[in-house]
Structure formats: structure tokens, C-alpha cells
Structure 1
Amino acid sequence: MTTEYASTGDPRRGIELLWGLREPARKGPKPRLSVERIARAAIEIADAEGLAALSMRRVAERLGVTAMSLYTYVPSKAELLDVMLDTVYAEVTGRGDGDDEGGWRAKLARVARENWALYRRHPWLLQVSTRRPVLGPNLIAKYDRELSAVDGIGLTDVEMDLVVSLVSDYVHGAVRGAVQADALVERTGMTDEEWWRRAGPILAEVLEPERYPLAARVGAAAGAEYGAASDPERSFEFGLSILLDGIETLLRAKSATTAGHDSGAGTDATS
């Protein structure tokens, strides 16, 4: 799978485009195109066929215009990719009715599941390295919303950033298996359960359980449970629970350290 890289264009040109400062000024009738319309067309292509199919020419064909006409709005494919990313980030920036419900754990779990669903809707996101983030309004809003899940729970600002990054990195890794499973079913026309029903009996003919006792026992139990070789969504939820447990351990340790310092200060003051 080819990796694309976000924010590879000119930083000023890209940020101005993301924040709506490069929309061409025109007089007369409303123009046929806009940056948003171009981005939506590009997203539709990427959703259906992956980033390998994306080009300025393909987007132009989808919109019924010439490729050259796109460059009036979007300077290059590099900036187009950045706008695409920021556009889909808008899907998880709005604060819903349930955002304030529950404690930090419920809020972080909600953040993780929303990002999981975002990757499932737009699997091409896994093909983009965001080591240099797309500094658009929707990314900033997304980051702010995710930070609010851990605001005021005893973390420093840097720790808040690290926790949000930890959750984001976990989702990015965990969802890859689910996206690959989706693509595999589409490519082969066979579900994992169907494949397992065909492959399982053949494996039983050649596998010697006494040579691999743990693999045979655990693999049989897992296969019977999942009806497949694995269950990406169940693995995601299991790992998320363990991850949140780890963050809770961190918070307890910080709370105990703070209490110890306060106790020590009180003892010194009265001695």
C-alpha cells in the first residue's frame, strides 16, 4: 500500500487554502466550482477506489470540467489531499448531546470509537501519514474536542496531549485489521466465516495438535468464538479497555503522589 504524506505543499499556501483565504474572488454569476466541491469529489473517488486512483484529472472528470480549471482553486494534489483530510475531520468535530456525559473514561472511549468509525468510512485515511499535521480548522476543532475529554482530571498539558495521541495511535493501528478485512471480503467475494468453514476442515487434516498444543487449543477456541481467524472489532474494544485501564493507573499514581506531597507539607508545617 503506497503511503501519501500530508502537508507536503507550501505551508503558507496550504494553510491559507484550508482557512478559506485562497478562494478566488469573482464577480458575476456564482462559479461552478469551489474548494469544498472539489474536495468532496476527491473524497468520493478515494472512498470508492483508494488514493491510488486519485488524480487532479480524475477529479476534473467527475466534476465535468478540465483539469486545468481545478488549479484556480487548488494549487496542486498535495494541497488537495490536505483539504480532503480536513474535510473528513469535520465529521467528528461537532459536540453532540452526549459529549458531557460520563467521566473521562467514557469520553475517551467515545473519542476512540468515533475515530474508529471515521477510518471505516474513509479507509484511505490509513494511507496518509500525518506526521506533519494538516493545520486546518477542522483538525484544530477535532483536537480541541478530544482534549476536552481529559481536561481537569489531573494531567499536565503535555500529558493531556500524550494521552490523546496514545488513543489516536491505538485506533490507527487497531482499525487497520478491520479495514483490511472489509477490503478482503470485497476482493474475494467471500466472508471470513465462509472462508473459515472451507479452510478449517483442510487444516484439521494436516495439523498435528501434539506438536503445537497451545496453538491448536487456543486457535480452536478462538475460531469457534469468532467464526473466523479473528474479530477486529472485538479486539479493538478489548484493547481499548486495557488502554483506559492504563490511563486510570496513571491518574491514580499521580493522585497518590500529590496527596503524599500535601501530607508531607502539612507535617513540615506543624513540626
Structure 2
Amino acid sequence: MSERRPEPGLTREIELLWDLREPGRRGPKPKLNREAIVRAAVTAADAEGLDGVSMQRVARELGYTTMSLYRHVDSKEDLLVLMLDAAMEQDPPQPRADGDWRAGIGEWVAGCREVYRRHPWMVYAVVFGPPLGPNGLRWMEAGLRELVRSGLNTADAVQVLTTVSSVVRDTYRLELDMRRAAEAAGSTLAEREHAYALSLRRVVTPERFPTIAAMLDDGVMAAPGPGEATTPTEDMSFSLERILDGVESYVERRRRAARLPASP
């Protein structure tokens, strides 16, 4: 049986992210190099979002011509691939000494939120697949490590990690969109949510929307009190905990089934 070769596009991305296409250099590092280009691009994206990143803008910030950049990065698309991995240089959580995998996933999620807060543009970048770069793989390793500790096999752990990471990313993107809309209206996120609840009360009746009416009566969208969660990402712990409850329940059922004697 012949070995399956990687897809050409993935091979190219691996070579790009791991710098496998360039021979090793001797002597001092040139003043303009790929690392400096990527760092300048990340800084521009942090300040102005992805729309503020172009090869011309990065070249101007570095004091070089645009053509000089193309000697190190083939295209803006390649630059974005490198930016996404570089933005994840923050170290992921280390293994917990007590082996508490749920707390470990909680720390992993908190770390992801911190990365997104530092680099908000990341949640708007198009993602074509799982990570391939050194930093992305470090975060993937850390998340999978905790889920495998729960008793999941690696295949199931990948699926759960994909779900958890999607929840964190999409929730933070929703928060950013809501925050920008609130700022454009001259209010805060909490004020806008409270105004939304007040507006709903004008049209929601228990006869037509009984569950939404009950939600409003429960004060779900009331102004938060001291110490209460005020943003979607701060308020997502309940959903994440229920995902982890499901993992724990599944692993326990599988363990019980493995201990049962076989049916005659």
C-alpha cells in the first residue's frame, strides 16, 4: 500500500509555517526578515483590524519598498497564515499537577480569550482547517491533553476541542460586534442589552411568545449587578460546563459498559 501524500496546499502551508523552504543561513540576521514583517503586520492588525493590513502598509512601517517584502513573503494570504500563528505565541496552560482536566480546560479557554483580547482581528480571519504552525499546535496539544485526561480517545477529543474552540471564538466575535454597535450608538454593551429587553417588552406577550416573556420576567437581560457577568464571553461558563458535563457522563457510561459482563 502506497503512503498517502499530503495535499499540495497543506504541504505548502507546513513549509511556510515551519520555514522549511529556506536553507539555513550563516552570519548575522538580515535587518529585513520574515519575523520582522510578520511582527509589523500583527501590530497593524492589532491597531486597525485586518482591513489595515496590506503589503504596502507593512513595507511603509518598516521603511522598505513593497517589493522588498515579497523576497520574504510570497503574498498577503501567506502573510495572514503567518500572522495567525504568530499571534498565538503566548504559552498555553501547563499540565495541572492535580490532573483536574475540567479545570485544565477552563484554563485553556481563559487563555484563548486572552489571546483574542490581545489580537481581536483573529476572530474575523478565515480559518481553513486545524492549526499547522508551531504555536497553533502548542495550543492544540494543550487542549487535547486535558480532554484525553478525561478518558476520551484522541478522535473524540478532537471533536470536543473543535466544539469548545468554536464556542470561544464565535462568542468573542459576537461580543466584539455587539460592543462596536453599542459604541456607535453612544452606549455600553450592558446598557444596550438592557435597552433591548425594554424594547422587547413593548411587543412580546405571553400569548404569542410565552418563553421569551418568561425570560424577560426572569430578568435575564436586566442590568447586571455587582460582580455579575457583563459580556457574552464572561457569561459563557454555563454552556461550557454543560459540554464538559456531557464528556464526563459519556466517559463514565463507557467505563461502566466496559465493566459489565458480556450478554450470553
TM-score w.r.t. length of structure 1: 0.78
Match of 1:251 in 2: 251
The number of residues matched between the two structures is 252
Percentage of identical aligned residues = 35
Match of 1:6 in 2: none
Match of 1:53 in 2: 52
Displacement of 1:56: 0.7
Match of 1:166 in 2: 163
Equivalences for residues 256-267 of structure 1 within 5 A: 256-260=256-260, 264=261
Displacement of 1:48: 2.2
How far apart, CA to CA, are the structure 1 residues paired with 2:125 and 2:197? 39
How far apart, CA to CA, are the structure 2 residues paired with 1:87 and 1:201? 40
How far apart, CA to CA, are the structure 1 residues paired with 2:160 and 2:200? 44
- Which range is displaced more, 72-81 or 46-55? 46-55
Distance 1:130 1:152, change over 3 A: same
The higher-RCO structure (CA 8 Å, 6+ apart) is: 1
Amino acid at match of 2:166: D
How far apart, CA to CA, are the structure 2 residues paired with 1:233 and 1:218? 20
Equivalences for residues 41-190 of structure 1 within 5 A: 41-93=40-92, 95-96=93-94, 99-190=96-187
Amino acid at match of 1:154: G
Match of 2:188 in 1: 191
Contact 1:90 1:142 in 2 (8 A): no
Cα offsets for 1:101-124 (capped at 9, x unmatched): 451111112112221222232222
Amino acid at match of 2:84: L
Cα offsets for 1:33-57 (capped at 9, x unmatched): 2212211111122222221222111
How far apart, CA to CA, are the structure 2 residues paired with 1:142 and 1:41? 23
Match of 1:226 in 2: 224
Amino acid at match of 2:90: E
TM-score w.r.t. length of structure 2: 0.80
Amino acid at match of 1:173: D
Contact 1:46 1:53 in 2 (8 A): yes
Amino acid at match of 1:74: V
Amino acid at match of 1:49: E
Cα offsets for 1:124-160 (capped at 9, x unmatched): 2222232334421112222112111123442222112
Distance 1:39 1:209, change over 3 A: same
Match of 1:4 in 2: none
Contact 1:147 1:164 in 2 (8 A): yes
How far apart, CA to CA, are the structure 2 residues paired with 1:204 and 1:82? 42
- Which range is displaced more, 101-110 or 176-185? 176-185
Cα offsets for 1:68-114 (capped at 9, x unmatched): 11111111111111110111122244x44x74445111111211222
Amino acid at match of 1:250: Y
Amino acid at match of 1:132: G
How far apart, CA to CA, are the structure 1 residues paired with 2:114 and 2:172? 9
Distance 1:233 1:170, change over 3 A: closer
RMSD: 3.2
How far apart, CA to CA, are the structure 1 residues paired with 2:204 and 2:45? 45
Contact 2:189 2:231 in 1 (8 A): no
How far apart, CA to CA, are the structure 1 residues paired with 2:131 and 2:190? 39
How far apart, CA to CA, are the structure 1 residues paired with 2:198 and 2:242? 35
Displacement of 1:209: 4.6
Match of 2:18 in 1: 19
Amino acid at match of 1:222: V
Q: Which runs of 5+ in 2 are unaligned?
A: 1-7
